[in-house]
Structure 1
């Protein structure tokens, strides 16, 4: 039985991808094969990087890619509330469709696997996660359950109770940026049944700020496969994973009150910040030296030795970008009221 790691990437996140691959090599405790699912066809740098690593491959099963592209398209194109909201926000009618290619992990070469978003650094061994998959179909280790349920599911109370007859739904939600599972846990018959349910009206339980995350949570919960979250059941085992927390750094590994993290996730920090940093621009990101350590672990001679401050024009551009990011953040923070105004 082959254990492995998946991630989703293209050339836009190249610097983050290299840092992730190096952190896996440095901290996994053993050699684990990695498979990169293509976000799109902008892959020149990614392919060149894969060619230098004997344990890294590119996912090339386009039957699987096309299946999941179509699956997600059918779900969201037949969900009027999502379509209406995305149009009002100025987004495309299939907002973040390529993110759903994460579902290809269910069809890939690994019998047991862990998925990492590319904006992640591995901090410690993963054997305890793979071992938990001997007892559960789906495993996570995050604190999404402490956030607002409306970011994942926001249907009416009656519909939510019909679709998810579980106690304490809040405790079952998870972040789709890091999870572990097993191959073929969802048969074609189960997937066809889920798609039918979604198209018959159950899609209305899903929020659409992060559509792939909502769909992942729906499929895991609605299918009834067994599920376990380390952070919920044993929060003291391995704590912390989000960059906004304050961790101690020892030899480029992060610790929370003496406990080694499993991973650090840079969610919500744009890829352009990492690209600019690696181009010698003085960009401040959390745990910057840790990121740079892993980004240039195998090529220290190319690491920037000094950093220049952005020009006035670049600062204005960044301020504009930050302005719009804040607008999106405000939409999320006021999402319940925004949703109610649509009905």
Structure 2
């Protein structure tokens, strides 16, 4: 059985509702499994109560298995990471980081094949082509992270180029916000082998402050999985971007919209519809404040609101006054700007 997975808790309640609504529009009938970021899931539990196709993952043994693996990885990273000052290490490492790894429980989860979507994404197109690509590959992605390997690996490390060929580094690196693969891809023995390789020195390859993305890339590449990036394999005239930092996407209504002049819940990159939109670098607090009625402006705000209130249009906030540009914390803002180079 195929399905879609995501990671969420009550902090991203509004984004999860929007994502689930977008999945129902573009992948009707597709089952969804939500992996709990932590125990703060009261609101999202209520949100999925009337969605029979959506379940909240509750296999504690599986969640603990992946948190234990991540602790091993973090121990190795602390041993080999000489690029981050000790004070910064204390700040970026903490129990909350382990929760990010709960999404990896999808490898134990209910779906034979699954598409993982970050909670800050919207699905904008059916995904049969993504799952079809798994007939020929172990791992399917669709992004431009390969253009910026420095946010996954320590590109100045000689060991990196001994470990992976230039061709692999140019084609296999991916963003961890969208990927399709299979259940039971990593056995306990494989995880132990990966943890050992990291402890023996491969940990120095990983970006020092990023959380799960470098580790996921390393797991896939070190396991020699066949990684297919649709951004590199689709015909050039069919490729689209996916990132909120791309300013040129055109909103259009779905076919059959009662008012075709109203920007609707799909986006186009030239003549091709986006498969998904990733609101990367934008804080979950921004979306919560918007849904509470603050007239905050950010790219593709209205398409988010379209999906967030797709089933409850009477609850959509009436935004008063002139939209105010959102002011992200500096580190988030700078991170979003850096992603511009990954956009089309």
Change (3 A) 1:189 1:322: closer
Aligned equivalents of 1:72 and 1:100: distance in 2? 7
State the partner residue of 2:56. Answer: 58
Residue segments in structure 2 that go unaligned for 5+ positions in a row = 254-264, 340-344
Aligned equivalents of 1:259 and 1:249: distance in 2? 11
Aligned equivalents of 1:48 and 1:82: distance in 2? 42
Q: CA deviation at 1:233?
A: 1.9
State the partner residue of 1:43. Answer: 41
Change (3 A) 1:237 1:324: closer
Q: CA deviation at 1:308?
A: 5.9
C-alpha contact 1:117 1:177 (8 A) present in aligned 2: yes
Superposed CA RMSD in Å reads 2.4
Q: Any idea what the Cα deviations from partners look like across 1:96-127, whole Å, max 9, x if unmatched?
A: 33212221111100001100001001100100
TM-score (norm 1): 0.87
Q: Any idea what the Cα deviations from partners look like across 1:233-264, whole Å, max 9, x if unmatched?
A: 22433411001111111112001111011000
C-alpha contact 1:77 1:93 (8 A) present in aligned 2: no
State the partner residue of 1:290. Answer: 303
Q: Is 1:230 aligned to 2:230, yes or no?
A: yes
State the partner residue of 1:104. Answer: 105
Q: Give the length in aligned residue pairs.
A: 323
Q: Is 1:303 aligned to 2:316, yes or no?
A: yes
State the partner residue of 1:124. Answer: 125
Secondary structure at the aligned position of 1:35 is classed as: strand
C-alpha contact 1:36 1:59 (8 A) present in aligned 2: yes
Aligned equivalents of 1:54 and 1:238: distance in 2? 34
State the partner residue of 1:241. Answer: 242
TM-score (norm 2): 0.87
Secondary structure at the aligned position of 1:167 is classed as: helix
State the partner residue of 1:341. Answer: none
Secondary structure at the aligned position of 1:69 is classed as: helix
State the partner residue of 2:271. Answer: 258
C-alpha contact 1:137 1:181 (8 A) present in aligned 2: yes
Alignment of 1:40-189 (within 5 A): 40-80=38-78, 81-82=80-81, 85=84, 87-89=86-88, 91-94=91-94, 96-147=97-148, 149-154=149-154, 157-165=157-165, 167-189=167-189
Q: CA deviation at 1:88?
A: 3.3
